Every structure is written in structure tokens, then in C-alpha cells.
Chains A and B, each alone.
Chain A
Amino acid sequence: MSGVIQGATGPWEMVIGLEVHAQVSSASKLFSGAATAFGAAPNTQVSLVDAAMPGMLPVINKVCVEQAVRTGLGLKAKINLRSVFDRKNYFYPDLPQGYQISQYLQPVVGAGTLVLDMEDGTSREIGITRLHLEQDAGKSVHDMHPDRTYVDLNRSGVALMEIVSEPDLRSPEEAGAYLRKMRSILRYLGTCDGNMEEGSMRADVNVSVRRPGADYGTRCEIKNVNSVRFVQQAIEVEARRQVDVLEDGGEILQETRLFDSRKNETRSMRSKEEAHDYRYFPDPDLLPLEFEQAWVDEIAASLPELPDDRKARFIDELGLSPYDAGVLVAEKEVADYFETVAGGRDAKVAANWITGDLFGALNKAGLEIASAPVAAKDLGALIDLIADDTISGRIAKGVFDAMFKTGRPPGEIVEEKGLRQVTDSGAIEAIVDTVLEANQHKVEEYRGGKEKLLGFFVGQVMKQSQGKANPKIVNDLLKQKLGNPGA
């Protein structure tokens, strides 16, 4: 996957913009008091407002507005102190009112930016066009009956943030990086759980192709793609489709398309497209949404440290590489874990244990950091045991495996298995003597100049001490007793 497609007639560049629909983390809906929890029985989280019963009216949820503002601040965006809710009119069974309450001309959040961290450690700014609040629709279930559609309104009225990017993305990788970064920021802010499996984060993908540097081509919008992988696949196949059309002398018509992950193709949705005219107008059941700058400032003051700042701190203050820092801040939980482990210790060592041994073990076990059997403080303790020569680095690997299996602290394991290093030179000298005794002729060869035999002697001593002898002491004693080779 790359942003440039080599066509028969030359190279084509992908131009991609994303509209992310992120479900606002809130207990109740945007305009009603019904719950938002995922997975409830059909129509059990529906108020009379959500079902659009005659005479029902919307009343806005203050926390949803606050979450939108917080997200806007997290995206370094302009916050609009006055915004307007409009009605977007169209008919669909999972849209009970016959209109979606959204924000069209005057969104609550204006232009902002998001920093992309690329695999190679470089980074790039992507423009955010706007963020607005709107109602989610219900769910239409088409596979429960051969010729009927079933409608569940539990999602109807749940608050969404639609976050629109500029067409600044140039490859499926960048689109993936954008989505991962957006999810990371939303999770740091606590404004959306970013769970794509449960549909709390979906993306509409706008794709067009052009000759490198030329003007934008006609774009197609691929609706409701619900995983990072699918977004990347959809971009790939859609861009190729457009190139094929253009190279066959055809033209792209602006339309909404659907991504079929099984067939790995995009398909036109003209049926739904038909004569769209949303007739937006300000919702007369609501007044304009207005708030004070002071309130925005309060929210700004309560923002947590976000991934970009945290990454910079890890690099500047802890001396991590941009790559390691990037990996560690992506998930807030990982970054927190790392900071506990690294506290008062060598940050690079801590980073290596986490990105190496811990991630490896988690991967094998198919676990998330949140459910890691090794507590951060215990991994820290393990690093301390190495630092103060209680155990050797090699022993430590085994101790870590035991910690991961049992969840027990390293100290217990070291004591129980008697893994402490032997630093008593008397004890080690005894072993050294028996080893030299048993290998007289090798001693001669060494003294005769076969220097590399030192390693052999060390190995033998370590073997007999079950790896517990302090390597430095072993070396010193051996050199002392063997004398200078070739002397």
C-alpha cells in the first residue's frame, strides 16, 4: 500500500479526507434522558423523544456540549461561542423524526489540526475542517426476516461528534495513522471510547485521484467504514477503481459508495443517493447554542497531557528515541504503565523491557496492557534487582517469564528459586579451582597462548554455579589464576 498508483499512463496520487463519527461519552442522549449503553435489548433505551412521538421536544445535554468543546480544544481548534442546530430532512425507518438534528452552517468547533506520526518516526500536520454535534440514528436490521426490516431505536438520539478533516491525507497508511491518532486523542480526553467494533467510532472516507501536483479530481464518499483495516482497504480499491475508470477514458461521478469487505470492492449506493435535498434549516424547537469564553477556559484548564506533549516530554526529558516515545504514548494505558516503571529508573531500560519482553508476551497471550499479569511496579522491581546485582540480566529473563505466568512479584520468585547471584569470591574460587583441576591440558593450551579458551573456563564455572556466579568475579579469579597467556 502506498499513496501513488502506477497506472498504464503514468503515476496517480491519492487524495483522502475523512469524516469521523465519534460517539460522545455520556450517560444519556444528546436531547433526551435515555441511556446510551451498548448492547441493550431492542428499544429498551428509547424515550418518547427518541421515538419522535407527536409533541415531543428536544432538550440539550450539557455534558455532550462540554465533550465537544473538550475535543475541539484537544484538536487545537477554534471554539465557536455561538453555534446553531439545524434539521437535516430525509426519510428512513431508523430516523424517527424524519430529520436529524445536526449543525450545518454554524458548528460548535471550527478549524484545528492533528499531528500524524509516521512509521519512520517523521510527523506531519493534517487540517481539521470542523467538528459538530449531531444525533445518531437507530439501527435497521435487514437479516431477521426475508421481506421485512426490523428497527431498533436504542441508538436513536445518541450524541455524535462529526469530525471532518481537510483532504490532506495521501495514502492508506496516512489514513490509518490519522484514525489511530484521532482515537488516541479522544481516549486521552475521555470524550469517546474509540471502540470501532461497537460502532462508537465510524468513518466516511472521501477518495479522489490526480496526477501528482495537479488539481483535485472528483471525489467519491465511502460511507460508514468501521475498522482501520477496512478504511485502508477501501481507499486502496476505490483509488484503483478510479484510476482504471480514468485510464479507460471514463470520468468519475461524485457519489456515495459502499465498501464490501468480503468482495473487497466499493459499490455505488445510488438507491440511497436518489435526489438528496436535505432542506437544512435551524431547528425551531431549539435556540442557538451559546456559552461564555470563561467556561471554555475552565475546560481548557482541565485538559490532560495529550499524546503529542507526552511524546515530546519522553524524548526531551527521558531521552527516549522518537520511535519508542511514539509507541509508548499511543495508548494512554501504556504510557501510564511506562511512567510507573521508569519512575526513578533508567527510562531506556524500562522502555526496552516494555516494548520488548512485555509487548512480546502480551502479544503471545493475546492480552491488552490493561490486563497484563505483570504489574508496573513489579517490572520496576525486577529492573532494580538487575541494577543492584541481585540477579544477572540473563536470570532476569527467566524471572520475567515466571512473573508473567504467576503474576507474582520478582523478589518472591528470586528467593524461592534461590536465584541470587553468588558474589562470595571464596565460594567461586572453589569452583574455579575444581574447573582448572579438571582441565589441566586446556590450562596448558591457554598459557601457551590460546587466549580464547577463557570463555570456555568462564562457561564451565557459570555452568557449575547454575548461572548464579557473578560473571565479573569469575573473570577476575580466572585471569588471576591462569596468569598471562603466553607468559
Chain B
Amino acid sequence: MSLGLTEFTLAEARDKLRAREVSAQELAEAHLSAIGSAKALNAFVVETAERARADAARSDARLAKGEGGILEGIPVAMKDLFCTEGVVSTAGSHILDGFRPTYESTVSANMWREGAVMLGKTNMDEFAMGSSNETSHYGPVRNPWRADGDNRDLVPGGSSGGSAAAVAAALCLGATGTDTGGSIRQPAAFTGTVGLKPTYGRCSRWGIVAFASSLDQAGPMTRSVRDSAIMLRAMAGYDQKDSTSVDVAVPDYEAALDRSVKGLRIGIPTEYRVDGTPAEIAALWDQGIAWLKDAGAEIVEVSLPHTKYALPAYYIVAPAEASSNLARYDGVRYGFREDRDDLTEMYEATRAAGFGAEVKRRILIGTYVLSAGYYDAYYLQAQKVRTLIAEDFKNAWDRVDALLTPTTPEAAFGIGEKSDDPVAMYLNDILTVPANMAGLPAMSVPAGLSARGLPLGLQVVGRAFDEETVLQVGRTLERAAGFDHRPTPWWRDQP
């Protein structure tokens, strides 16, 4: 019974709640017990059962009166990068040990206002720096998916790996993620879920622990495109407290889903056919092209000449901003402190012990590329290249309405497989990073399985603030792919 209750999509649950066929409290209990029996995934760092029960009771009361918001009674998980009032928020880092914000991030506050029920905080790569969720201070998240006839643990992708795993394993109906270089879309692809990174400026960054300010953007992670549309509407909106938030109306995304793509022009960027792309990825891409063509879309080859430079430029801009954003973690006002008699020693010991290897690596890279004598060659050059990348997309929009590409160059890999080769790990984001560099909305939709039975995703990129077209194309792919595979729950009641 409780099992069934976790199998709904967010949209189905919403309709049943409004029809009073299920209660928010039943839903909450079902998901809490699912979480309780999924410890093996290590998807949650904090579980807020009591909070969930209180939220659910409140929602039932509203629903009984025929009231309630967009997400009324919907159990969701919150990535630990979001500051949640009174609930420990650590960004997966030792240096934020025990940090209890006295404030609530704008995005999470928007969701609570719309009636969402909080199940807990999800595990993530430390400060969202990673593509495998292996850099978390709380240990790696295990992907609910395993390759056929192989019970080795796979990564769920990252940095929003805990949210992706929780959604894929039906531990929640939706979860928040953040995407700086692919941190929503890549884990979505690795776990057979839907991940949407909105336009930069669409969701407020206020109260989200900053990684790279000019790239960070929050978005929904769900099991269907419709769920994504519903959840984004609740998360999005202009925020006075974020100078980079943009004051444009938030449409009813769900209404866009059933528009036909007939006549839409879909661009296929030549440069995304990177050498060494596995045949099955190329095949999936061709399949996606065929599906959209069948649905009446016009397929257009386009060129985004600076694509190959997006990733190296990203690995200058993001670490540079991070090196400055993470300077505030100094053991003075919150979090972990390594005591020393000398101030500088206190700083150096606190940050040495508080940050993990990948975070230190990026802080050092960022410090170096900004340091005297290197700024022009690295940071300034990267920001100029970024301008060229954005222009590539602008030119494409003269000819097409959206772009279709694979989300990742490969399916989920094994835990530990890439840990000792940073660049190999970074290459995972090669197809997702360009949208961040240009601030464009992009979504990953599960489109098929690899030869080893692992999920693969297709990515749709759209014009700034045109999430509607992205969702519309995503919905078309979803319908055509009919992706209804679910991982077998090997994790249930495992240690």
C-alpha cells in the first residue's frame, strides 16, 4: 500500500490529493518509510520526519477546505545547498558542520508557501563541486541503478546526486537541485529522471550556498516532464534580494506541455559530435532527432563553433568565483573551527581540515588564475571566450527554436572509477556546461537504456526565459520514448 503511494508522479499525487483520494499525511508517511528503508543509497544527509508530518497535517487541513498551493501536500527533498531555517545546512562540507541558518532560501520558501512537504536535505558533492557525488563529506551517494548482471555500485552523477537518487528510487515526488555546469542534468541522465536548469536569473539565488555566482541556478528534479513544469512554477520568480534575479512573469509551464512541436525548428549542433562519443550515445541522439521529426518538427544542422572551449573556460570562471565565494568559511562566524593561538594559523588549519580535496583543488586553481600577472591570460580570456559562446547561441536562435543534444558522453560510471583523474571527471560536463556559460534553460529527459541497461538522457536547450519551449520539446521526447523503466529496489533494507 505505502509502496503504491510512492509510485505516483507528482502530477498524479497532486490530482489525488485534490480529489481527497489520498491524504498528504499518508503520502508523507509512505515516503518517510521509503527513505527509512533506503539508507544504503546515502541520498539524505538530514531527515525531517516531524517537520514532514506537521507540513502534511497543515496541507490536509487546507485541502479539506478546498484550498492549497501548487505543491500542496507534495513530499519533496531539498538539496543541502539550500539554507533552510533551523535545519542543519552544510552544502555537503565539513566546514559547515552544524550550521543552522536563521533564514530560509527564497526558492525553498516559495515551495513551502505553495504547500510542499519537507522530507529532508539531500546529499551532494561538497559545495556542489563534483560530477559523481563522491566529494561529499557525508560519503558518496549510490545510484539506484545497476548495470545488468553487475551489482557494483555506480555514481548517481553530481553534484545533485542525492536529489537524483531520491527521485529515481521514489523516496520523494520531486527534489530541488542546482546546476552550475550540469549538476542537475547530468545526475538526471545517470538516474533516468528529468532535470531542468532554468534560465540564469529565473530562480533566486538568495539563501543558496554560492559556488559560482554567475553560473549557479536552481531547478527541479522529477520523474516526469509535467512534474518538472509544475515544480518549476513553484520555485521560480523575481526576488528583490538577488541583484541577478530577473523581473519577468512566471508562466503556467504546465499549459505549454501539450502544444505540438509541429513547425518548431530544432537545431542539431555539429560540434557536439565530440570524437570518442560512444556509438550508443550517437544512436540515442539520432533516435531523438527521428522522434522530433515524426512529431512534425523541422530539423536544422547548426554550428556552435566555440563549443569545445566552453569547458576549459568554465574551469577558469567557476573556480575563480568559488575561490572568492568560499573565503567566508574562515571559522569566525559559523561552522567548523580548528583552534590555534595565531589567527592565520587558525584560518589555514580550519580551511585545510574543513574543505575536501576537490574543493581545495578548485580554490587553489581559482586563486591562481586571479593572481597578479595571470588574470588577463586566464580569467579575462575565459570571460571573452564566454562572450563568444553566448554569441554562438544567439546566432543559432536566428535559425532554430531549440537545440537537441545528448546530456552526457556516457552512462553512469562506477564509484571510484574517475576519482584520481580530475580532468576525466570534468569531461563529464562537456555537453552541459555551454548552457550555463550562456545562462540558457536546458533540460535532460530520460530517452533510453544503454547496452548495459543504464539510463541515458537527451538534452534540450532553449532561448533565455523560454523554458516553455524546452518543456514542450522535452514532453514530446518523453512521450515518444515512453521511458517507463525503474531501477530494481536492491537497496531496500540494506545497511
Contact = CB atoms under 8 A, between A and B. Distances in A.
A and B, one complex? yes
B89 A281 contact: no
Interface in B229-270: 240-244
A99 B327 CA distance: 8
A281 B320 contact: yes
B332 interface: yes
Nearest to A286: B243
Interface in A256-313: 277, 279-281, 284-287
B415 to A, nearest CB: 28
Given A48-B103, A54-B83, A93-B343, A59 B240 contact: yes
A151 B332 contact: yes
A482 interface: no
A279 B102 contact: no
B372 interface: yes
B96 A54 contact: yes
A87 interface: yes
Contact of A54 (B89, B212, B323, B327): B89
Chain A interface, >50% SS class: loop
Q: Residue among A54, A56, A287 with the most chain B CB within 10 A? A: A54
B209 interface: yes
B33 interface: no
Nearest to A58: B243
Contacts of B341: 147
B209 A55 contact: yes
Contacts of A149: 343
Given A285-B213, A285-B243, A287-B243, A51 B333 contact: yes
A106 to B, nearest CB: 14
Contacts of A386: none
Interface in B367-397: 367, 370-372, 375, 379
B347 interface: yes
B243 A59 contact: yes
B370 A96 contact: no
B198 interface: no
B241 A57 contact: yes
B75 to A, nearest CB: 24
A284 B343 contact: no
B334 interface: yes
B242 to A, nearest CB: 5
B324 A91 contact: no
A97 to B, nearest CB: 5
Interface in B357-373: 367, 370-372
A203 B379 CA distance: 33
A278 B452 CA distance: 51
Contacts of B69: none
A83 B333 CA distance: 32
Contacts of B208: 55
B337 to A, nearest CB: 12
A447 to B, nearest CB: 96
Given A96-B332, A281-B370, A91 B347 contact: yes
Interface in B35-90: 83, 89
B214 interface: yes
B352 to A, nearest CB: 14
Nearest to A90: B327
Interface residues of A, number: 30
A98 B330 CA distance: 8
Contacts of A59: 240-243
Contact of B328 (A98, A151, A277, A281): A98
Interface string B79-114: 000010000010100001001011101000000000
A52 interface: yes
A87 B101 CA distance: 25
A89 interface: yes
Contact of B103 (A53, A286, A287): A53
Contacts of B101: 53-55
Contacts of A141: none
A99 B328 CA distance: 8
Contacts of B96: 54
Contacts of A57: 205-206, 241-244
Q: Residue among B96, B240, B241, B326 with the most chain A CB within 10 A? A: B241
B243 A281 contact: no
Contacts of A99: 324, 327
Contacts of A89: 323-324, 327, 370
A284 B214 contact: yes
A51 B334 CA distance: 10
Contacts of A54: 83, 89, 91, 96, 99, 101, 209-210, 328, 334
A91 B327 CA distance: 8
B215 to A, nearest CB: 8
A55 B324 contact: no
Contacts of B242: 57, 59
A281 B379 contact: yes
Nearest to A92: B343
Interface of A: 48, 51-60, 87, 89, 91, 93, 96-99, 147, 149, 151, 277, 279-281, 284-287
Given A52-B333, A54-B328, A54-B334, 6 more contacts: A53-B101, A57-B241, A57-B243, A59-B243, A280-B375, A284-B214
Interface of B: 83, 89, 91, 96, 99, 101-103, 105, 205-210, 212-214, 240-244, 320-321, 323-324, 326-328, 330, 332-334, 341, 343-344, 347, 367, 370-372, 375, 379
14 contacts: A53-B83, A54-B83, A54-B99, A55-B83, A55-B105, A59-B241, A60-B243, A93-B343, A97-B327, A98-B327, A99-B327, A277-B372, A281-B324, A284-B213
- List the 9 shortest-distance A-B pairs measured between CB atoms, nearest first: A98-B327, A279-B370, A284-B213, A284-B214, A55-B207, A52-B328, A54-B209, A277-B372, A55-B83
